[in-house]
Structure 1
Amino acid sequence: MYNEDDGADPKNHYQDLWDTYEALAGFMGAQLIEYPFPQTIGSQVSLELLTKFHTSLLAESLLLNSGFCHEAYCILRLMLEYTITLKFILLLPEVRAVLYLDDTAAASRLFVFDIPLMAVETRMQEWLPVIENPLSGCSRPYEAVDLLAKSCELTALMLETGRNT
């Protein structure tokens, strides 16, 4: 027998993703408001990267709603870099957070933040195709849906990472 849901418009799935996306962005915003004053250097870096992630998430939403999928994809890549960087720093916060926050030594750093290497160390190498394979454009609606799905998954991962600080 024919199931009406099987032939449902893909826009319903698209709307479900938007609802999830907006709920995650709201949850992250609320978490940032309630975030305690940083007591450690690790929590200071967490707050900074969570704030950058949240701002990027809001920008990505505006770009996707306006049909600028390539630009939204660039924002997704930034959000991925923030997530990998935070997870990487939190593995050794006393050492890596100082290097991350020390802007004065940026030119003379012995330690370089290399996203692909950090992704391997944080077990996020399955995300590397997002960085390595740029999106050609958003000529097809499912590409926007893919961006939304990736953003929702990444936001949940960033929230979990931020919660563990």
Structure 2
Amino acid sequence: SGKVGKALQDEVRDRASRSVDLSISLEPLPDPNNRLTLSSTRKDKHGLACPDIHYDVGDYVRKGLEVVKTQLRQIGDLFDAQEFVINDKLNANNHIMGGTIMGSDPTNSVVNGNCRAHDHDNLWIPGGGAMVSASVVNTTLTMAALGLKAANDVLRALERK
């Protein structure tokens, strides 16, 4: 607005006293096509295959976004909003989950029920990576429980040696 000093401060106070920001969370459904695979063409500096990320939010989220946009417009109309902007960019919550999926079958999972790697007897990978799907909020307590479960399994393995 080209304002500076007191005029800018007054403008900020005025707008802040009459502004609303809403954040909407949409939860993607589990999709077996969303996965990490090892690249057949890209290698890191050690010659190991780089990960390829396959991810799509899916039609459920895309349709949900359209419904939410309609509802937000209704809220704006209800409050006679003078300036109204909907940012419909989908942002990731950056929950690091699903990269080391838990399961009993080594052909379609990385770790067993105790977060122990199928392919390496002395490797445990506890945490969110073992979870096959995620919600829009962190699953901190579940991740902690997986850590404790893995720790117990490590202790049992050490006791057997």
TM-score of the pair, normalised by structure 1: 0.23
Highest CA radius of gyration, 1 or 2?
A: 2
Of Structure 1 and Structure 2, the greater helix share is in 1
Q: Which has the higher contact order (CA 8 A, sep 6+)?
A: 1
Of Structure 1 and Structure 2, the greater strand share is in 2
